Amino acid sequence: MSAIYKRELHSYLTSAIGYAFIALFFAVSGGVFVYTTLYSGTANPGNYYTYMLVFFVILLPILTMKSFSEERKLRTEQLLMTAPVSIPAMVTAKFLAAMTIFSACTLLCSCSFLFLTKYATVRAATVFGNLIAILLVGGAFIAIGLFVSALTENQLAAAIGTVGIILLFFVVSALNRFIPVYWIRFVLSGVSIFSRFGNFTQGAFDFSALLYYLSVMVVFLLLTGRVYDRRRYR
């Protein structure tokens, strides 16, 4: 498993896509930080992380789009599938590699609030809570991205598909309040990734939301493994 993890990291750090992701992430983060914090004159990190979450819809598919689809295109998946490594280990290694890059970028960008402490009161607990929540939501998006990437050998299709699925979660949250039937509203609010994030922005630590994000992550990673398992039986 560690071999695949290291290979993935190597691939991110030697490819244009890896650097494009990192550069875009930093640029977006800088812009959002200036807009939501410096311009608004507030030290509350809630707005920054909420805006970042919206940009993740575009950013994270860039990170995951080549994960499995490129292996399929290059036929290197044959090497992985015939090596003494299990499918769950392969999927986990790829997930952890993408999470490493994403977490490193998020943590580095969150340092902006560290510098802000010199000029304003920043509640460390709020930053910390937001950080954990955003890492978990990012993890859920990455798991979705890996799943879609395992379905196709076309990287662009993988990226667009991932954006599509994440947007679906987004639309569910946005349109939910307009649905007149209570039980549909109840079910849809249950699967909304975004509405659960609200509590964190206000500094509250929502344990059920954490469990929910972890569940989304696990479900999509299991589905990714299932795609590979299924392909063996095609």
Contact positions vs another protein (CB under 8 A): 2-4, 6-7, 10-11, 14-15, 74-86, 232-234
Q: Tokens 């799943």 correspond to what residue?
A: 147
Q: Tokens 């039937």 correspond to what residue?
A: 181
**Least distance from another protein to the Cβ atom of residue 8, Å:** 11
Would you say 4 or 53 has its CB closer to another protein?
4
Burial 67-79, CB ≥16 within 10 A → b, else e: bbbbbbeeeebee
Would you say 3 or 107 has its CB closer to another protein?
3
- The answer to whether the beta carbons of residues 9 and 99 sit under 8 Å apart is no
Nearest Cα residue to 33 out of 21, 20, 51: 51
Would you say 12 or 102 has its CB closer to another protein?
12
State the Cα–Cα distance between residues 89 and 91, nearest whole angstrom: 6
**Least distance from another protein to the Cβ atom of residue 41, Å:** 46
Residue 112 neighbours by CB distance under 10 Å = 19
Would you say 77 or 193 has its CB closer to another protein?
77
**Least distance from another protein to the Cβ atom of residue 31, Å:** 30
**Least distance from another protein to the Cβ atom of residue 230, Å:** 10
- The answer to whether the beta carbons of residues 116 and 37 sit under 8 Å apart is yes
Would you say 52 or 62 has its CB closer to another protein?
62
**Least distance from another protein to the Cβ atom of residue 151, Å:** 18
